[in-house]
Amino acid sequence: MITGIYKILNKINNKIYIGSATNIKKRWRDHKWYLKQNKHHNLHLQSAWNKYGEENFEFTIILECTIDELIIKEKEFIILFKSKNSNHGYNINDPRKIYLGKNCSEEIKNKQSERMLGEKNPMYGKYGREHPKFNISPSAIVRNKMSVAKMGIPTHRRSYCKLTPSDIIEIRKMYNEEKISQPKIALKYNVCCTTINQIINKKIWIDII
């Protein structure tokens, strides 16, 4: 697992996107998945991807560093490459305001909620009897495996024991800085929205800054 700073280069116009991650290869897979689905949070990068095609983008690691250095180094490279300037890159966040664990304003929260209303919500129309798993109970074998898997795990951590400290940092960064909705994050990590909300608001995993 490589922790550090990376860039996404548009080989046609040389514009770049600077990012940081505790697991760069995993973050690249996420970027590509959202871009291919035309659902990337960065509309500038998404527009360029749609226009020029995947083959004209290059992913490169530019620095390996510790988790504690991530945000500082990311700021430095955004400023160095001028990637916040639309003439040079695709970054949308002001580098002076990038930091882990920041709280979104009510205006941003409201806009995020509006984007998930009605048919825009990935779970729209999938409730009750229409849900594919409605009225389906796990078999005795599955229930037994679930019970064994939880043995020795404190109750307050059982619902999200599949997550790691690096996942928690990534989840908070995806929501606070990349403005990815909680339902999308929950879908990506295969946990419920309540767990993601508690992680973001530091009601659980409070030991991870």
Q: What are the DSSP calls for 64-87, one per residue?
A: E--GGGHHHHHHHHHHHHTTTSTT
At residue 208, the pLDDT reads 74
Average pLDDT over residues 49-54: 94
What mean pLDDT is reported for the chain?
A: 78
State yes or no: pLDDT of 52 exceeds 90. Answer: yes
- Cα distances (angstroms) measured from residue 151 to each of 71, 92, 139: 37, 45, 19
- Reference 17, options 45, 53, 40, 38; nearest CA is 45
pTM passes above 0.75: no
Tell the residue number behind the tokens 């078999």, with chain if given.
139
Confidence of residue 155 (pLDDT cuts 50, 70, 90): very low
What is the C-alpha to C-alpha distance for residues 182 and 107, in angstroms, rounded to an integer? 16
Which residues have a Cβ under 8 Å from the Cβ of 6 and sit 6 or more positions away? 18, 19, 20, 21, 24, 27, 28, 59, 60, 61, 62
- pLDDT tens, residue by residue, 88-136: 999 987 666 555 444 444 444 455 556 556 666 655 555 555 555 555 6
Q: pLDDT over 90 for what percent of the chain?
A: 32
State yes or no: pLDDT of 45 exceeds 90. Answer: yes
- Fold observed for domain 4-97: GIY-YIG endonuclease (3.40.1440)
Higher per-residue confidence, 192 vs 35: 35
Locate CATH 3.40.1440.10 in the chain.
4-97
At residue 156, the pLDDT reads 43
At residue 157, the pLDDT reads 47
Bridge partners, residue 149, by sequence? none
At residue 121, the pLDDT reads 61
- pLDDT tens, residue by residue, 2-29: 899 999 999 999 999 999 998 999 999 9
